[in-house]
Structure 1
Amino acid sequence: MKGDLVTLQEFVLFLVSILTNSLGQFLLKAGAIKLGATAPHGAIAFLLGVLSTPELLLGLMGYAAGAMVYILLLTRVNLSVAGPATALAYVIAVLIGHFGFGEAIPPLRLLGLGLIITGVILVISRP
Structure 2
Amino acid sequence: MSPQEFLLLIMSVLASVGGQFFLKVGALKLGRVHAGNAVSHILSIITTHELVIGLTCYALGAVAYILLLTRVNLSVAGPSVSLVYVFSVLLGYFIFRETISLIRLVGLSLIVSGVILVVWQK
Report the TM-score range of the alignment, normalised by the length of the smaller protein. Answer: over 0.9
Query: What is the CA-CA distance between 1:42 and the residue it aligns to?
Result: 3.5
TM-score normalised over the length of structure 2: 0.94
1:114 counterpart = 2:109: yes
Shift of the 41–105 alpha-carbon distance from structure 1 to 2, 3 Å rule, reads: same
Q: Which residue identity lines up with residue 11 of structure 2 in the other structure?
A: V
Structure 2: gaps of 5 or more residues? none
C-alpha separation between the residues in 1 aligned to 2:19 and 2:87? Answer: 11
Deviations 1:22-81 (A, max 9, x none): 0000000010000116977132x1232111110000000000000001000000000000
Kindly tell me the number of residue pairs found equivalent between the two proteins.
121
Q: Which residue identity lines up with residue 42 of structure 1 in the other structure?
A: A
Ranked by relative contact order (alpha carbons within 8 Å, sequence separation 6 or more), the top structure is 1
Equivalent residue for 1:63, pick from 51, 54, 58: 58
1:100 counterpart = 2:91: no
Runs of 4+ in 1 over 2 A off after TM superposition: 37-40
Deviations 1:64-112 (A, max 9, x none): 0000010000000000000000010000010011111010001111111
1:41 counterpart = 2:20: no
C-alpha separation between the residues in 1 aligned to 2:50 and 2:56? Answer: 10
TM-score normalised over the length of structure 1: 0.90
Q: Which residue identity lines up with residue 59 of structure 1 in the other structure?
A: G
C-alpha separation between the residues in 2 aligned to 1:96 and 1:102? Answer: 9
CA RMSD after TM alignment: 1.5
Structure 1: gaps of 5 or more residues? 1-5
